[in-house]
Amino acid sequence: MGGGSGSSVMIMNSIDSVIIETPDPDASSRFFSAAFGVAGLLRVRESEAATSGFRGFTLSLVVAQPSTVDSLVAAALAAGATEVKPVSKSLWGYGGVVQAPDGTICTIASGSKKDTGPATLQIDDWVLQLGVDDVGASKRFYVDRGFTVANGFGGTYVQFDGAEGSVKLALYKRRGLAKTTGVSPDGSGSHRLAVVSDAGPFTDPDGYTWE
């Protein structure tokens, strides 16, 4: 590759943490700690903002193998989550969907359909999946703010790169994300979500708040 004094370093933005807003942050903190042992990447804070139905986003936990999916889903249900979509095999791998007591929807999935080692509770990647009205327009919005596209599929899906150890960002058509998750796309009011990143502060075209 060429270098020299004219070269520049590309700065890739990524998500430092995701904040879930809830009327009972202590209860939500206990749930996420018991279910996923998460710290740092996922935070909670108090909010009474009105919301109903699908809040437009999901948290995706990507793991190595089916037994890890089973372990994390079992831990979430034991901590008080509700099963939205039972774990099962699909064309793309193995996974299921649960809903936290505060309403946050979490998908837990592996691209593998076979175990290659003992079951663990290790989460390899966190992905914040935002449901948007226009994937193409939202993609351009985030590219303009320093996010780098990793892959995508037409006007229905795009995922961005993220620094190691950070939360990755993905965009879906809102109705498509709801359908894949197994919930109705209907919803109104606050997303009850804030995203912390060097790219902020701003509010995106679909009302998601970045700080």
**Class of 16-210 per CATH?**
alpha beta
Q: State the pLDDT at residue 4.
A: 42
Determine phi and psi for 2, rounding to 5 degrees.
Answer: -75, 150
**Buried/exposed 111-143: b ≥16 CB within 10 Å, e otherwise:** ebeeeeeebeeebeebbbbbbbeebeebbebbe
Give yes or no for a contact between 138 and 127, defined as CB atoms under 8 angstroms apart: no
Average pLDDT of the chain to the nearest whole number: 92
Q: Where are the domains of the chain?
A: 16-210
Give yes or no for a contact between 96 and 138, defined as CB atoms under 8 angstroms apart: no
Report pTM: 0.91
Q: State the pLDDT at residue 33.
A: 95
Residue 9 has pLDDT above 50, yes or no: no
Residue 160 and residue 31: Cα distance in Å, rounded?
28
Give yes or no for a contact between 132 and 74, defined as CB atoms under 8 angstroms apart: no
Give yes or no for a contact between 197 and 13, defined as CB atoms under 8 angstroms apart: yes
* Burial (CB count <10 Å: 0-12, 13-18, 19+), residue 182: middle
38-78 pLDDT, tens digit per residue, is 767 899 999 999 999 999 999 999 999 999 999 999 999 99
**Buried/exposed 33-49: b ≥16 CB within 10 Å, e otherwise:** eebbebeebbbbeebee
The C-alpha angle 95, 91, 127, rounded to 5 degrees, equals: 45
Give yes or no for a contact between 68 and 121, defined as CB atoms under 8 angstroms apart: yes
Both tokens assigned to 209: 């708040």
151-188 pLDDT, tens digit per residue, is 988 789 999 998 887 899 999 999 999 999 999 999 99
Q: Show the DSSP H helices in the chain as ranges.
A: 25-36, 66-78, 135-143, 174-181
